Amino acid sequence: MPSAESVTERAAALRAQIARHDRLYYELDAPEIPDAEYDRLFRELQALEAEHPALRTPDSPTQRVGGKPLPAFAPVRHVVPMLSIRTETDTESTGALNFDARVRRELKLDDTQPPVEYAAELKFDGLAINLRYERGVLALAATRGDGETGEDVTQNVRTIHEVPLTLVPQPPAGELSGRPSLFDAPSVPEIPEVLEVRGEVYMRRDRFDAFNLRADAAGERTLVNPRNAAAGSIRQLDPAIAARRPLSFFAYGLGEVQGWNVPATHAGVLDALAAFGMPVCDHRAVCSGADALAAFHARIAEARAGLPFDIDGVVYKVNSLALQQKLGFVTREPRWAVAHKYPAQEALTTVQDIEVQVGRTGKLTPVARLA
């Protein structure tokens, strides 16, 4: 009979293995083992925890799916408000120039002074979420709500494999997957006492399509679009339903922080979050001045159709956190950030015919045939 120490060590090893393979599969698209082997490891951990309940930790991969449906969502007061950012409605390159001009004007910089450094990233089309980690363990997940108060959706967010249940310093992505990364943090940060990570829950287009194919074949209700699917999944009262939805997550900022030396720049914050094991999008850049922002906007516009997820623009942020604090807010929007949108992806077509399909359960579904 194995000793208690050896059982504890085996459970810890299995948790680490499963977490590593989750990152390879869900974040890096570079799985090393077949699904059957992953399932074998998972079942072994489940069996150990069933036999030794004291080993079942809150951050165990087996605890991603909560059991009982929630009667309702409890309100959560954000320590640091989750405010929205201004939208630049000028979808041309001049939108970037307008933002830079406003920032320079607020900072009282004339044409002789050097360009402002910005962090540029994607504007994901999903649902904003605040993840609260206490001593490195996910303690709470909440929606934005009205910015001051959101909803407790912890059980549903725990079902998202890309959301770490515990912050564990990670090897660089290039070392883990064999692929180089431009954004590996130079050193592994210490785990903060409290770290609130803000980001977007979204659904990849390929996973959205695959889910709808399965649902349609089973005569079940299909999802309307990836954004609504992400928001609706997170607000399911039954975590088991949320667990069946193929959701993903990208981190893009911070809320409350205690016991951590926050990096001096926004780009440094994202690098540090990646080093904690948080999924951070690689489509980001540090840009010097307005022309570099406009070039980023144009580059992402060309790549937009090939992205595996939906975006509706890019976001520019003054990179220096000290300058962000100096710029402050106006009418609850930061002066140091803007969302630079793209033109809506719309087109005119002709409806050639409408067919009615009969599902396995007899459900009738009208299907439009377009030119």
Q: Which domains, ranges and CATH numbers included, belong to the chain?
A: 4-63 (1.10.287.610), 75-341 (3.30.470.30)
Say whether 123 is catalytic: yes
Distance CA 285, CA 346 (A): 28
Q: Chain-centre distance of CA 280, in angstroms?
A: 7
pTM above the 0.95 mark?
Answer: no
143 in Cβ contact with 77 (< 8 Å): no
Give the C-alpha separation, 128 to 142, whole Å: 9
Q: Which of 123, 317, 326, 363 is catalytic?
A: 123
Residue-wise pLDDT tens for the chain (371 aa)? 567 678 889 998 998 888 888 777 765 657 788 877 887 888 899 888 888 888 888 778 887 654 454 567 899 999 999 988 888 878 899 999 999 999 999 999 999 999 999 999 999 999 999 999 999 999 999 999 888 999 999 999 999 999 999 998 865 554 444 444 444 444 556 889 999 999 999 999 999 999 999 999 988 888 888 988 898 889 888 888 888 899 999 999 999 999 999 999 999 999 999 999 999 999 999 999 999 999 999 999 999 999 999 998 999 999 999 999 999 998 778 999 999 999 865 555 677 778 777 665 666 677 777 76
Q: Say if residue 149 is exposed, middle or buried (CB neighbours under 10 Å; 0-12, 13-18, 19+).
A: middle
Residue with tokens 């939108």: 95
Nearest to 313 by CA among 160, 89, 63: 89
Token pair for residue 31?
């799985």
- Tens digit of pLDDT for each residue in 258-296? 999 999 999 999 999 999 999 999 999 999 999 999 999
What Cα–Cα distance (Å) separates residue 93 from each residue in 19, 258, 294, 297, 315?
Answer: 42, 39, 5, 7, 13
Query: Whose structure tokens read 């549903």?
Result: 156
The reported pLDDT for the residue numbered 224 is 86
